[in-house]
């Protein structure tokens, strides 16, 4: 069974080869970028994360409340405009 590539003219084959190489290069650039972002994300541990993971005592207070420093949050107040 003959492929479509074999039926193309030599000029069309060269154009197709250039298109294929260009797409391979662009795909490789994206893949390298994604890999770099993944590696950078793995090694970016902030000081808060280190402090929390290194503590031996686990608190029942959620992490978000421990970071903000307040134990209770006031209820949001809705202001209505007079008509």
Listed in sequence order, the DSSP H helices in the chain are 4-7, 10-42, 47-54, 63-68
Predicted pLDDT of residue 43:
76
Integer distance in angstroms from the first to the last C-alpha of the chain?
Answer: 79
Q: What are the phi and psi torsion angles at 75 (to 5°)?
A: -70, 140
pLDDT in tens, 2-42: 689 999 999 999 999 999 999 999 999 999 999 999 999 88
């Amino acid at each position: 069974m003959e492929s479509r590539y074999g039926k193309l003219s030599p000029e069309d084959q060269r154009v197709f080869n250039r298109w294929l190489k260009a797409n391979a290069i662009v795909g490789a650039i994206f893949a390298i970028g994604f890999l770099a972002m993944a590696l950078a994300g793995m090694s970016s541990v902030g000081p808060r994360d280190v402090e929390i993971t290194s503590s031996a005592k686990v608190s029942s207070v959620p992490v978000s409340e421990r970071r903000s420093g307040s134990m209770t949050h006031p209820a949001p107040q809705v202001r209505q405009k007079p008509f």
